[in-house]
Amino acid sequence: HEASCAARRYRCVAPACTDRAGIAFHELSHHFQNKHLSMVKIGRKHKFAMKVNSEQHDNWIIMALHQIFHLRVDVDIRTWGVVVYVAYLGPKCNANQYNYEVTLIGQHNSRKLMYTRTTHCDLECSSLNVSRQDCFHLTLDQALNFLRVKNRHCEPDKFLYFNVEITKNEVPEAREESDS
């Protein structure tokens, strides 16, 4: 019951947030827009560029479809590679109503990679999902195929460009039973 309870309190996903007390669901949007505006992105679809030759760990708050999502993007040059993870902030019973899609397009549109999954619940252990690769995961060797550089071995900064889009799952229309 607690995971889907309307009175549940939420932990702020901003790593350096000083508000460690739980935040009521109806106060989350106000909290993020007032205390973490630089992390907030509005809308369903966003473009990102990540440097893949250095460690990078980014957290974003996406406000889309009248909901709040936590986007985590990690580049770990020692083990993981590139990881993209989206969690729904809200009652657990609603998390499976939304999908996130990660799209990479290679240089000159020579290749395309798409990954789609229902959003994770904010109560799930993100590091466990990452270690199980139950989220978007691309090894650094695989990422080389999507770098947008003239010579991927010579350029000092190697960037991976990708899109993240959040959509609401379509509810299948109820079909009428027929006697035939």
At 63-100, the pLDDT tens digits run: 999 999 999 998 888 876 889 999 999 988 899 999 99
Distances (CA, A) of 134 to 29, 32, 118, 124, 130: 27, 27, 11, 11, 6
Mean pLDDT of the chain: 83
Q: Tokens in use for 123?
A: 């109560």
DSSP lists the bridge partners of residue 116 as 101
Among the listed ranges 2-6, 61-65, 110-114, which one has the minimum average pLDDT value?
Answer: 2-6
The pTM for the full model equals 0.84
pLDDT score for 180? 47
Tally of CB atoms within 10 A around 165: 18
Pick the CATH number of 40-168 from 3.20.20.70, 2.70.150.10, 3.20.10.10, 2.60.210.10: 2.60.210.10
CA angle 13, 15, 20 (to 5 degrees): 70
pLDDT score for 62? 97
Q: CA–CA separation, 180 vs 170, rounded Å?
A: 28
What percent of the chain lies above the pLDDT cut of 70?
81
Which residues are CB-contacts of 76 (< 8 A; sequence separation ≥ 6)?
55, 83
Tally of CB atoms within 10 A around 133: 11
